[in-house]
């Protein structure tokens, strides 16, 4: 080593030559990884678990998509050109309804978001609305799928849950940042909704069974740890976290702790990693390496088959440097290859892991075909709002009114008409 130092110190030409060789080797390595990432994504286009573009279409454009060009809009992190550049093959569009709509007009708002997603997917030839694993596999376009974000959307009604499935929703996040009467959220406190709800209630268990029966994927992002644990103990189908990260790397309630990661492995489910800097780094800034650490960690604890991608673009504000929009997905795959992920593992992360989960959810649905739809209703004493029409009381009141009219008619016939006849 000493003689090399002497040569380098006395001969700048040797330093220059060695530096050029190093730069060339490094450049070739980077180019190779980049090309491998591109090739993998062309063959196995990404299935992303969570995107909030529909929320921005409401917020910015009031759902008037006829007035904009979704191929090139530049005030969102998502447009169709960027999706193609990012090799996105299927996208779950989030039907997000704010917690403030709980016990009010959450169902209407959700229907309006489904409407704008369906119109978007119909109007652009790059997109195709699908509702099955087969639909994702067979389309040559970007597959559009719907995920409901927040169990308050179904207004405590299994019939409403079933109707959302009929409209094409294929997963439901059990809670958002507020509790429902039947499930506890990871962020239930600030909203003051149903603070007594702990974990999953009896009616919540019935929601899980009905989701298994109809073939709707259960999404545990935003749920409390205890809710997640209980769901994993009872669900016949694999479940997902559509946009969450690792608790051990960023200790916030929105992320997934190790014991639940192990349960996900046993369940055959999936953690689709969220890109939000405050979820992956617990601060406002992060880089691609910070994000890749979460993929590595899930792989270590639960295996590569338990990992997917749920970017959460257009739902939050902070993203890792270099991953600012949906066009940048290949840079993450390049980083994972650099870290030694094998091609087969990358294929799983990109789409095969999710397709396995979706197929199994559909298989469980088919196995339960002979089970009749649940007719269980949530107990009234678990609700805390007065604008819900009580049909039983309404029926009793209507019956009482009919009886009163009948008694009046009887009195008229029995007592009054004879006197009219006499005086007549």
Active site residue 10: no
The verdict on whether 176 is a catalytic residue reads yes
- Identify the active-site residue in 103, 149, 305, 334: 149
C-alpha span between 240 and 125 (Å, rounded): 29
Select which of 87, 222, 276, 294 is catalytic: 222
Catalytic residue among 103, 293, 312, 335: 312
CA 157 – CA 165 distance, rounded (Å): 13
Q: How far apart are CA 152 and CA 392, in angstroms?
A: 23
Active site residue 191: no
User: Which among 52, 210, 305, 335 is annotated as catalytic?
Assistant: 52
- Identify the active-site residue in 152, 191, 243, 294: 243
Give yes or no: 52 in active site.
yes
Q: Which of 48, 87, 155, 176 is catalytic?
A: 176
End-to-end CA distance of the chain: 135
**Is 184 noted as a catalytic residue in this protein?**
no
| 312 among known catalytic residues | yes
Joined together, the tokens standing for residue 105 give: 């007009």
Q: What is the sign of the dihedral through the CA atoms of 313, 315, 320 and 325?
A: positive
* Alpha-carbon span 238 to 235, nearest angstrom: 7
* 200 Rama sector, left if φ>0, alpha if ψ -120 to 50, beta otherwise: beta
- List residues with catalytic annotation: 50, 52, 149, 176, 222, 243, 312
């Amino acid at each position: 080593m000493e003689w090399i130092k002497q040569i380098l110190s006395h001969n700048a030409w040797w330093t220059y030559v060695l530096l050029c060789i190093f730069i060339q080797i490094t450049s070739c390595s980077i180019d190779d990884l980049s090309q491998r990432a591109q090739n993998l994504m062309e063959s196995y286009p990404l299935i992303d678990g969570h995107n909030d573009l529909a929320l921005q279409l409401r917020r910015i454009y009031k759902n008037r998509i006829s007035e904009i060009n979704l191929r090139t809009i530049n005030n969102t992190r998502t447009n169709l050109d960027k999706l193609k550049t990012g090799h996105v093959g299927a996208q779950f569009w989030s039907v997000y309804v704010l917690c403030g709509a709980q016990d009010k007009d959450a169902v209407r708002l959700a229907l309006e978001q489904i409407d704008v997603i369906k119109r978007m997917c119909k109007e652009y030839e790059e997109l195709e609305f699908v509702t099955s694993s087969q639909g994702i596999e067979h389309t040559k376009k970007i597959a559009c799928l719907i995920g409901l974000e927040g169990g308050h959307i179904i207004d405590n009604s299994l019939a409403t849950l079933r109707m959302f499935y009929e409209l094409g929703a294929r997963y439901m996040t059990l809670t958002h940042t507020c509790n429902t009467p039947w499930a506890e959220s990871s962020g239930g406190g600030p909203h003051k909704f149903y603070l007594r709800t702990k974990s999953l209630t009896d009616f919540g268990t019935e929601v899980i069974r009905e989701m298994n029966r109809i073939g709707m994927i259960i999404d545990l992002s935003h749920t409390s740890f205890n809710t997640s644990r209980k769901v994993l103990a009872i669900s016949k189908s694999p479940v997902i976290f559509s946009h969450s990260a690792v608790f051990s790397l960023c200790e916030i309630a929105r992320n997934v702790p190790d014991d639940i990661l192990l349960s996900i492995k046993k369940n055959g489910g999936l953690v689709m990693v969220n890109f939000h800097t405050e979820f992956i780094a617990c601060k406002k800034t992060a880089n691609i390496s910070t994000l890749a650490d979460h993929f590595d960690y899930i792989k270590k604890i639960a295996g590569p088959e338990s990992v997917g991608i749920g970017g959460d673009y257009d739902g939050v504000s902070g993203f890792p440097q270099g991953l600012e929009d949906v066009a940048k997905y290949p840079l993450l795959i390049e980083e994972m290859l650099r870290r030694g992920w094998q091609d087969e593992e990358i294929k799983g992360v990109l789409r095969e892991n999710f397709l396995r989960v979706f197929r199994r959810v559909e298989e469980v649905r088919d196995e339960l075909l002979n089970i009749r739809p649940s007719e269980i209703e949530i107990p009234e004493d678990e609700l805390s709002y007065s604008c819900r029409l009580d049909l039983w009381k309404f029926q009793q009141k209507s019956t009482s009114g009919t009886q009163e009219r009948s008694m009046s008619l009887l009195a008229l016939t029995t007592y009054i008409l004879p006197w009219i006849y006499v005086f007549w």
